[in-house]
Amino acid sequence: IHSVTKVHRIACIPGDGIGTEITEAAIQVLTTLQKALGTFELDFTHFDWSSKAYLERGWYMPPDWADQLRKHDAIFFGAVGSPDVPDHISLWNLILPIRKTMNQYVNVRPTRILEGTTSPLANVKRGDLDWVIVRENSEGEYSGQGGISHEDTPNAIATEVSIFTHAAIFRLMHFAFRTALSRPRKHLTLVTKSNAQRHGMVLWDKTFAAVAASYPAVTTDKMLVDAMTVRMVLQPSSLDTIVATNLHADILSDLAAALAGSIGIAPSSNLDPERGNPSMFEPIHGSAPDIAGRGVANPVGAFWSAAEMVRWLGEEKAADTLMKAVEEVTKAGVKTKDLGGSENTKSVTEAVCREIEKAL
Ligand code: ATP
Ligand code: MG
């Protein structure tokens, strides 16, 4: 009998600003994890696809970018963006093409209050807030359709067309119901704006109801997105799994992260549930130019994203060990400023590495 060490090939796109800092930190903890466990190997390839590179050479990704990414089992992404490049340029040249081409049609965003941390709201206690937001990741408000006439004149008219298809909503709903089913509460909340938007949002309502019939074990309710923000703040414990459109879920997940303590802790997984392409894992925050280069970014969102990545690759024990280590560290008060602490990226990273080594 001989044991085979599984090798997972990871494409790393650190990007810009704190994206590079937190990616480096994540690689450090993943490397520590891999050495301590000894049951798998991670083989990282770095891609310098960033706004900084774009400003120097005029392009984000080379023509064969999709083939290059497909040689990997997963993608780890930091954050992309620069004050000198409009955000829609980086979004439409990098992150959106990757999500679309790699068939990453769901974006899973878990949020909870970690040990040793508190919500900025006094009424929200640890354990009250434990949510998974399932975001539609392929179409809707981000379908890119529309145009502008009379540009740069006072008569300018622009359209921004949202496209919603039954096929995309249907596959998303199945994923959302399966996610709800995997959780202790088994509750799914649909978020739309179907009182004001009578085509796409009504298709969401109908598709949700039809798919719900296949999951009798899941309890459901429906919220309009405006009322949802109020419920998240005032009755967090009434929520569990949440499914929403590309735009709505983007906004709600920033709110969720802030309610849970900081945008710096929240992870996201861009998944191809059919596993025909590599999935992509990234913290939800951006490149944060205001704090970049100072070594003070909270790396926890990147660590949590890394844990979700190794979980997706089948390394359950590694994922659990990493999250346990992160919470030991926050519990001990080793936290960056956004969480009310006085530590930096390096000291938090080293503390997590020590916890991993202690645990194994
Ligand atoms: P994007 O357009 O890329 O989404 P953004 O404009 O939403 O970016 P972020 O980069 O996410 O902005 O930053 C929002 C705020 O949160 C900034 O003040 C930033 O410093 C802070 N922030 C974001 N990520 C972190 C982090 N990991 N640690 C500490 N603070 C953070
Ligand atoms: Mg943002």
Q: Ligand 1, atom 6: nearest CA belongs to which residue?
A: 286
Give 135 Cα–ligand 2 centroid separation in angstroms. 15
Atom of ligand 1 nearest to the CA of 79: 3
Nearest to 239 by CA among 261, 256, 214, 257: 256
- Candidates 255, 332, 268; CA nearest to 301 is 268
HSE-CB of 279 using CA atoms within 13 angstroms: 23
Residue bearing the CA closest to ligand 1, atom 21: 288
Name residues contacting ligand 1 (CB within 6 A): 18, 79, 81, 87, 263-264, 285-288, 290-291, 297-298, 301, 336, 338
The residue whose CA has the least distance to atom 19 of ligand 1 is 288
The CA distance from 150 to 154, in Å, is: 8
Q: CB 1: neighbour CB atoms within 10 A?
A: 2
* CA–centroid distance, residue 286 to ligand 2 (Å): 6
pLDDT (tens digit per residue) in 86-126: 989 999 999 999 999 999 999 999 999 999 999 999 999 99
Alpha helices in 45-193 (DSSP H): 51-57, 65-70, 87-90, 96-101, 166-181
Query: For residue 42, what are the β-bridge partners?
Result: 8
- The full DSSP string for 44-69 is EEE---SHHHHHHHS-SS-TTHHHHH
pLDDT digits (tens, 9 = 90+) for 208-264: 999 999 999 999 999 999 999 999 999 999 999 999 999 999 999 999 999 999 999
Per-residue pLDDT of the chain (360 residues; tens, 9 = 90+): 556 689 999 999 999 999 999 999 999 999 999 999 999 999 999 999 999 999 999 999 999 999 999 999 999 999 999 999 998 999 999 999 999 999 999 999 999 999 999 999 999 999 999 999 999 999 999 988 999 999 999 999 999 999 999 999 999 999 999 999 999 999 999 999 998 899 999 999 999 999 999 999 999 999 999 999 999 999 999 999 999 999 999 999 999 999 999 999 999 999 999 999 999 999 999 999 999 999 999 999 999 999 999 999 999 999 999 999 999 999 999 999 999 999 999 999 999 999 999 998
Ligand 1 atom nearest 22 alpha carbon: 27
Query: What's the token pair of residue 235?
Result: 């009755």
Residue matched to tokens 């503390």: 351
CA-closest residue to ligand 1 atom 3: 286
Q: Bridge partners of 314?
A: none
Atom 1 of ligand 1, residue of closest alpha carbon: 286
- Give the DSSP H/E element, type plus range, for residue 190: strand 187-192
Q: What is the widest separation between alpha-carbon atoms in the chain? A: 76
| DSSP secondary structure code for residue 185 in this structure | S
Please list, residue by residue across 320-332, b when 16 or more beta carbons sit within 10 angstroms of its beta carbon and e when fewer do. Answer: ebbbebbbbbbee
Reduce the DSSP state of residue 76 to 3 states and report it: strand
Residue 31 in tokens: 């490397």
Residue 285 CA to ligand 2 center (angstroms) comes to: 6
Cα–Cα distance for residue pair 210/259, rounded to 1 Å: 32
- CB contact set of 35 (below 8 Å; sequence gap of 6+): none
Which residues have a beta carbon within 5 Å of ligand 2, which is an ion? 286
Nearest bound ligand to CA 80? 1
Ligand nearest to the CA of 90: 1
Beta partners for 11?
A: 45, 75
- CB neighbour class for 123 (10 Å; exposed up to 12, middle 13-18, buried from 19): exposed
Q: What is d(CA 110, CA 311) in angstroms, rounded to the nearest whole number?
A: 14
Q: Atom 25 in ligand 1: which residue has the minimum CA distance?
A: 264
Contact assessment for residue 262 and residue 297, using Cβ atoms and an 8 Å cutoff: no
